[in-house]
Amino acid sequence: MGMDRNTVIGFVLLGVLLFLYLYLSTKNSQELAVQRKHVEDSIALVNAKNNQQFNAARDSAAKTVVVKDTTPFQKVLHGSEELVTVENNLMRIVFTNRGAQPKQVFLKKYQSYDSTQVNLVGGNDRISYAINTDPGQAAQVSDLYFAPSPVVKNGDGTQVISFQINGANGKQLVHRYTIRPDDYAIDWDVVTNGADKFFSQEKMNLHWQAQPLKKQRDVSYERLGSSICFYEDGKFDYISSKTAHNFENPVQWVAISQQFFNTILLAKNNFSSGEVNWTKETADTSNLIAKVEVDLHAKIPAGTNSQVAMQLYYGPNDYYILKKQAPGMDRIVNLGRDMYSFVRPINVYVIMPVFNFFKSFISSYGIVILLLTLFIRLLTSPLVYKSYLSGAKMKALRPEMDTLKKKYGDDQQAYGMEQMKLFREAGVNPLGGCIPALLQIPIFFSLYSFFNSNIALRGQHFLWSKDLSVYDSILNLSFNIPFYGSHVSLFTILAVATSFLISLYGMSNAPDQNNPAMKYMPYIFPVMLLGFFNKLPSALTWYYTVSNVITLIMQYVIQNYIINHDKILADIQENRKKPKTKSKWQERIEQMQETQQKMQQERIKSQGK
């Protein structure tokens, strides 16, 4: 590819945007590393604040047991744990009667980094709320031992399990769960008889505590892809670098999202308000992703009997599955957010359909990525051809540009003005090599988001890569190299090596061989890619390698067999014979150059005096 100054600008802009994207993606991790001591000191205070009501109610309930032996809650405050397992085609849910909630949820189709089934509920996770047990006394339901009922299997394949406790005067609290055969979502209904006695001010104050654990081999990269997502006031939003968010408007659902899996709590009639606090772990030796505390408030319908309808989702971050669950849930899958949200339509309407089409009849995901790359390069080939053609025209003008360079020497202002005149006379657009490169940037960033969030790649083998969703490693080092890491990714090396060859080839065809930027570009850009690419998913570095190989082949074929260099020279000479008109843009550029040249001459004269 002919690499003129504007092509260099295109590559530099691509690099700047890439580095900016990676900087924003890693900003949270860097900030947490710097402030780690502050975070560790403040965790206890944050947890104390969020658990104050929980602990006070639990202590109060314990005192009640000691003082009032006749309380109807004596049995449920001091019981024995019973586990009930319910399975459907996708999950195995282990319910506990303590708190009447899921204690473990295993996903049958997915394995964790240690080859065990993915479990989305850990030992420190709980969902609770306070109820009035007796006048002036309260307890958290996560401390109460419910009585489980036998699992009811319906004709449509759904299974229903209920847990209940009974209070004085006919009061009753029931947790009812409905599990469908092919669904990651579980309906959770809280049914009360005597709601006006159980809840104060007709409000349920729900407290959700979770400590998600790593599911991927690279826990630090998994933390970067984790966030808290929510649907507030009919709009999707999330926090990643921030540690807290207050829900001032009705919120339908809140999700604790890891790179490829998430747990979601949804209220079918919305939560009225609440807040979320979370702290990401920073230690590489820890399996913990983050500590999360969510407080949500739900209105209880007036009357003695009430029902709060909620839903729990334990499952993959799969775009098509989440899209069917509830409004906005498909946006949990990061296909482009914030300043890069413009790439989301490219992913949704182009990249994903093409990828799924190839996947429908090809079992190897590495081959699917190769075909996707060929499709993208075919789609962008007209832009690439125009870029090469512009480079060929610039190369044809190289002898005349060298003559101008010798004539004006270090006078860059005069050289620039004469260069613009030369381009205009020859009918050459100096931006011809830059614009096509810039137009390909959205595709690059859409693929970056797509490969980072595509759960279908998880656990897929290809060549030496054991998992296309994480980096491939042919050598694990016993030490860490700054900016590079502690492993050697072969796909990264191939991607960098082919980028280096492209840069060398472009430099050999550059019109200005004395340009310092051109001289060092073949070395600077690939070296920077080496550090950034080494931690990226092997699917992305494999794509980049294939794309670079295609570029090298296209460069050779187009330059040697398609572009007619003699015809280009003839066209340039013909253009010189035509009358020239300056565009407004060219006029402004020349006026700026003339002004700068006059200022420089005046400066030289004043220095001479």
pLDDT in tens, 483-496: 777 888 899 999 88
Task: Quickly state the pLDDT bin for 193 (edges 50, 70, 90).
Answer: confident
Helix 516-533 × helix 490-508 angle, to 10°: 170
Amino acid type, 446: S
147 and 245 both lie in a single domain: yes
In a domain, 168, yes or no: yes
* Summary mean pLDDT of the chain: 78
301 and 351 both lie in a single domain: no
In a domain, 582, yes or no: yes
216 and 326 both lie in a single domain: yes
Give the other-Cβ count within 10 Å of 382's Cβ.
10
Task: Quickly state the pLDDT bin for 333 (edges 50, 70, 90).
Answer: very high
Mean pLDDT of 126-133: 88
Q: For the segment 149-185, what is each residue's pLDDT rounded down to a tens digit?
A: 999 999 999 999 999 988 766 778 899 999 999 999 9
pLDDT at 564: 61
In a domain, 20, yes or no: yes
In a domain, 596, yes or no: no
Amino acid type, 495: A
pLDDT at 236: 94
Residue 408 has pLDDT above 50, yes or no: yes
**Residues 319, 333 contacting (CB under 8 angstroms):** yes
350 and 499 both lie in a single domain: yes
> Which residue, 298, 333, 368, sits at the end of a domain?
333
pLDDT at 65: 31
313 and 366 both lie in a single domain: no
> Which residue, 292, 308, 333, sits at the end of a domain?
333
Q: Which residue has the tokens 């339908």?
A: 252
Question: In the chain, helix, strand, coil percent, each to 5?
Answer: 50, 25, 25
Sign of CA dihedral 69, 72, 76, 77: negative
253 and 369 both lie in a single domain: no
315 and 394 both lie in a single domain: no
Amino acid type, 304: T
In a domain, 608, yes or no: no
Closest CA to 140 of 173, 178, 103: 173
281 and 419 both lie in a single domain: no
308 and 412 both lie in a single domain: no
182 and 284 both lie in a single domain: yes
pLDDT at 270: 92
Q: How far apart are CA 26 and CA 225, in angstroms?
A: 10
Number of independent structural domains in the chain: 2
pLDDT at 63: 37
Q: How far apart are CA 541 and CA 283, in angstroms?
A: 27
Q: How far apart are CA 287 and CA 219, in angstroms?
A: 7
Task: Quickly state the pLDDT bin for 56 (edges 50, 70, 90).
Answer: very low
**Residues 207, 199 contacting (CB under 8 angstroms):** no
pLDDT at 126: 93
In a domain, 445, yes or no: yes
563 and 522 both lie in a single domain: yes
104 and 14 both lie in a single domain: no
- Give the CATH number for residue 204: 2.70.98.90
In a domain, 605, yes or no: no
In a domain, 575, yes or no: yes
Could you tell me the residue range of the domain that residue 575 belongs to?
5-25+344-591
Alpha helices in 509-583 (DSSP H): 516-533, 538-557, 565-577
